[in-house]
Structure 1
Amino acid sequence: MFRFGNPEYLWLFVAMPVLLALYIFLNIKKRNDVKKLGVLSTLKKMMPELSLKRSYLKFWLIFAALCVGIVMTARPQFGTKVETVEKEGIELVIAIDVSNSMLARDVSPDRLSRAKQILSRLIDVRRNDKIALIVFAGEAFVQMPLTSDTQSAKIFLNSIDPSLVPVQGTAVADAIGLGVSSFSTDKEVDKAIVLITDGEDHQGNALKAAQQAAEAGIMVNVVGIGSAEGSPVPTSAYSNSFMTDNEGNVVVSRLNEQMCIETAQSGKGLYVLADNTSTAIRALETQLDGLETKSSTSLSYSEYDEKFPLFGWVLLTLLVVEILIYDKKNPLFKNIKLFK
Structure 2
Amino acid sequence: MPLLMFIIFSVKNKLQQGSWQAVCDADLLPFVLQEKQSTQSRVPLYTTSIAAILAIIAMAGPTWQRIPTPVFRNAAALVIVLDLSRSMDASDIKPSRLARARYKIADLLKQRKDGQTALVVYAASAFTVTPLTDDTETINSQLSALNSNIMPAQGSNSALALQHAVQLFKNTGLQKGQILLITDDDKIQQAIDKADLPSAFQLSILGVGTADGAPIKLAQGDFLKDASGNIVLAKLNSHALRKAAQESGGIYQKITDTDADIDRLSHYFDQSAKHAEAVNHDLLLENWVEAGVWLLLPILLLSAFSFRRGLFS
State percent identity of aligned pairs: 31
**What does 1:104-143 correspond to in 2, within 5 Å?**
104-143=90-129
**What does 1:319-334 correspond to in 2, within 5 Å?**
none
With structure 2 as the length reference, what TM-score do the two structures score? Answer: 0.60
Once the 2 structures are TM-superposed, how far is the Cα of residue 172 of structure 1 from its aligned partner? 1.2
* 2:247 partner amino acid: S
Residue number in structure 1 paired with 2:181: 195
With structure 1 as the length reference, what TM-score do the two structures score? Answer: 0.55
Q: Deviations over 1:30-58 (max 9, x none)?
A: xxxxxxxxxxxxxxxxxxxxxxxxxxxxx
**What does 1:270-309 correspond to in 2, within 5 Å?**
270-292=251-273
* 2:218 partner amino acid: T
Once the 2 structures are TM-superposed, how far is the Cα of residue 101 of structure 1 from its aligned partner? 0.6
The answer as to 2:209 corresponding to 1:226 is yes
The whole-number CA distance in structure 1 between the counterparts of 2:190 and 2:127 is 18
The answer as to 2:239 corresponding to 1:258 is yes
The whole-number CA distance in structure 1 between the counterparts of 2:247 and 2:142 is 29
Once the 2 structures are TM-superposed, how far is the Cα of residue 240 of structure 1 from its aligned partner? 4.8
For the 8 Å contact 1:235–1:241, the answer to whether it is kept is: yes
The answer as to 2:231 corresponding to 1:247 is no
The whole-number CA distance in structure 1 between the counterparts of 2:283 and 2:142 is 25
**Structure 1: stretches of 5+ with no match in the other structure:** 1-86, 297-340
The whole-number CA distance in structure 2 between the counterparts of 1:213 and 1:124 is 28
- Secondary structure of the corresponding residue to residue 249 of structure 2: coil
Once the 2 structures are TM-superposed, how far is the Cα of residue 149 of structure 1 from its aligned partner? 1.1
For the 8 Å contact 1:173–1:204, the answer to whether it is kept is: no
CA RMSD of aligned residues (A): 2.7
Aligned equivalent of 2:191, options 195, 202, 206: 206
Residue number in structure 2 paired with 1:186: 174
The whole-number CA distance in structure 2 between the counterparts of 1:95 and 1:156 is 14
- Secondary structure of the corresponding residue to residue 159 of structure 1: coil
* 1:151 partner amino acid: E
Once the 2 structures are TM-superposed, how far is the Cα of residue 204 of structure 1 from its aligned partner? 6.4
Between Structure 1 and Structure 2, how many residues are aligned?
205
The whole-number CA distance in structure 2 between the counterparts of 1:265 and 1:168 is 28
The whole-number CA distance in structure 2 between the counterparts of 1:88 and 1:259 is 31
The whole-number CA distance in structure 2 between the counterparts of 1:115 and 1:137 is 15
- Secondary structure of the corresponding residue to residue 229 of structure 2: coil
User: Bigger CA drift: 110-119 or 151-160?
Assistant: 151-160
For the 8 Å contact 1:206–1:263, the answer to whether it is kept is: no
Once the 2 structures are TM-superposed, how far is the Cα of residue 160 of structure 1 from its aligned partner? 0.8
Once the 2 structures are TM-superposed, how far is the Cα of residue 165 of structure 1 from its aligned partner? 1.9
Q: Deviations over 1:62-115 (max 9, x none)?
A: xxxxxxxxxxxxxxxxxxxxxxxxx95711100000001100011111100000
The whole-number CA distance in structure 2 between the counterparts of 1:265 and 1:93 is 18
- Secondary structure of the corresponding residue to residue 197 of structure 2: helix
The whole-number CA distance in structure 2 between the counterparts of 1:157 and 1:129 is 20
The whole-number CA distance in structure 1 between the counterparts of 2:111 and 2:283 is 17
- Secondary structure of the corresponding residue to residue 205 of structure 1: helix
- Secondary structure of the corresponding residue to residue 133 of structure 1: strand
